[in-house]
Every structure is written in structure tokens, then in C-alpha cells.
């Protein structure tokens, strides 16, 4: 994210964050959220509250967006296709 590998992000409740996934480096790397580190790769489930996805990662117009709910738990972002690609989001 922004040139850093798996940085910890800090989100504010009530704010909306959009991850632009249109760059070709995002090809085959769908970004999703979970309350479990490493998401579905670690037995967790996808967190969908306030989440919108658009397009195909690596193609023009692709993004993943989240409007952080009030009282949202600590979240983790991850790639649905590759274990170990992700990090923590403090809310």
C-alpha cells in the first residue's frame, strides 16, 4: 500500500476509505477485509459491513471501498487469492 509492504493502517469511524486497485500490479489480488488476521486463509470470514467493490483488480476503475461503521472492530485487509498478503487496520 503506497509502496509499503503490509503497513498497519489507522481508520476513523464514520470515514470512507477507497483503495484504488486499477494499477496492473493489483491483477489477481482482490482486496477484502476480515476481523481475522489473514482473513479466509486463517479460517475467518469476509467482513462486508460498509464495503463496496467495483470492477476487476488490475483493470481501469477497480476499487475496494469501506465506510467504517461506528464501533467497528479491529480489521485486517487481505488478498483473497494469496495467504500472507495483508495487514491490520486499527479503528
Mean local confidence (pLDDT), 36-65: 98
Residue 66 predicted with pLDDT over 90: yes
User: Angle at Cα 54 formed by Cα 51 and Cα 58, nearest 5°?
Assistant: 120
- Please answer whether residues 66 and 50 qualify as being in contact, where contact means their C-beta atoms are separated by less than 8 angstroms: yes
Residue 3 predicted with pLDDT over 90: no
Mean local confidence (pLDDT), 35-55: 98
Residue 27 predicted with pLDDT over 90: yes
Could you tell me the pTM of the whole model?
Answer: 0.93
Supply the pLDDT for residue 19.
96
Residue 39 predicted with pLDDT over 90: yes
Amino acid at each position: 500500500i503506497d509502496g509499503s509492504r503490509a503497513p498497519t493502517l489507522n481508520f476513523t469511524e464514520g470515514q470512507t476509505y477507497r483503495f484504488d486497485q486499477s494499477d496492473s500490479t493489483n491483477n489477481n489480488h482482490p482486496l477484502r477485509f476480515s476481523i481475522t488476521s489473514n482473513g479466509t486463509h486463517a479460517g475467518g470470514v469476509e467482513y462486508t459491513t460498509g464495503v463496496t467493490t467495483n470492477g476487476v483488480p488490475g483493470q481501469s476503475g477497480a476499487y475496494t471501498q469501506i465506510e467504517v461503521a461506528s464501533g467497528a472492530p479491529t480489521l485486517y485487509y487481505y488478498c483473497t487469492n494469496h495467504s500472507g498478503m495483508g495487514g491490520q487496520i486499527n479503528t
